Structure 1
Amino acid sequence: MTNTYPKVQADTGIQRQVLAENPEMMVVAVDFEQGAIGAAHHHPHLQATYVESGRFVFNVAGKDIEVGVGDSLVVPSNAEHGCRCVEAGRLVDTFTPRRDDFL
């Protein structure tokens, strides 16, 4: 199946693209330029993040977590979280249920 979702500018230095989705789950690729900041936020969705490339420092519920290629982490539902891109790269985020605000 061909991906028909466009890349969108999520914030300065950050682009995202929905890769797959249904009501129960969504997979999203997020490309970061070095130094880009994923602003702190929260949502009701459970989120799993896989680092495909680059290096990032996440802050999840007040705790800093440094991750690089091949690492992953889970962000609990409603936990405040954000990240700083230390080395340009790509995150692959999976949300359950789907984030309708990304469609």
Structure 2
Amino acid sequence: MIKHFPEVQADAGVKRQVLSDSPELMVVAFRFQAEGAEGKLHSHPHVQSTYVESGRFSFTVDGESFEVTAGESFVIPSNAVHGCVCLEPGTLIDTFAPRRDDFLTPNP
């Protein structure tokens, strides 16, 4: 069954949209609308795979910084502190295992 999820404001200049989910897995698009928009440093127990659909980003994962661009992907381990800064507007497609239930409730 196909579900449709609304796009929500995640951070300043960043919109988030759940694309699909099950208890074991979730796929989410993060659309960075401007250079300098940030995905602030955070951690969570979920394993995360990030695919750069478009744009260019500087990521930090557990203190290591690197740049990624369209077509590249990487995995962020469970509980790793990570975040990114948008260098060129674009979209990240993140996959989480298990599902991020916090993304299923509306932002306050």
Q: CA RMSD in A?
A: 0.9
Worse-matched range after superposition: 29-38 or 17-26: 29-38
Shift of 1:3: 4.3
Q: Distance between the aligned counterparts of 1:66 and 1:74, measured in 2?
A: 14
Q: Which residue of 2 aligns with 1:62?
A: 63
Q: Distance between the aligned counterparts of 1:35 and 1:81, measured in 2?
A: 16
Shift of 1:2: 4.5
- Which consecutive aligned stretches of 4+ in structure 1 deviate over 3 angstroms post-superposition? none
Q: Which runs of 5+ in 2 are unaligned?
A: none
Paired amino acid for 1:74 = V
Shift of 1:15: 0.2
Over 3 Å counting, the alpha-carbon distance change for 1:3 and 1:35 in structure 2 is farther
Q: Which residue of 2 aligns with 1:10?
A: 10
Q: Deviations over 1:49-99 (max 9, x none)?
A: 000000000000000010000000100000000000000000000000000
Question: Is 1:81–2:88 an aligned residue pair?
Answer: no
Q: Distance between the aligned counterparts of 1:65 and 1:20, measured in 2?
A: 28
Q: Which residue of 1 aligns with 2:46?
A: 45
Q: Distance between the aligned counterparts of 1:58 and 1:96, measured in 2?
A: 20
**TM (normalized to structure 2)?**
0.93
- Number of equivalences: 103
Q: Distance between the aligned counterparts of 2:18 and 2:81, measured in 1?
A: 22
Q: Which residue of 2 aligns with 1:32?
A: 32
Paired amino acid for 1:21 = D
Q: Distance between the aligned counterparts of 1:87 and 1:2, measured in 2?
A: 31
Q: Distance between the aligned counterparts of 1:87 and 1:3, measured in 2?
A: 30
Q: Which residue of 1 aligns with 2:22?
A: 22
Paired amino acid for 2:92 = L
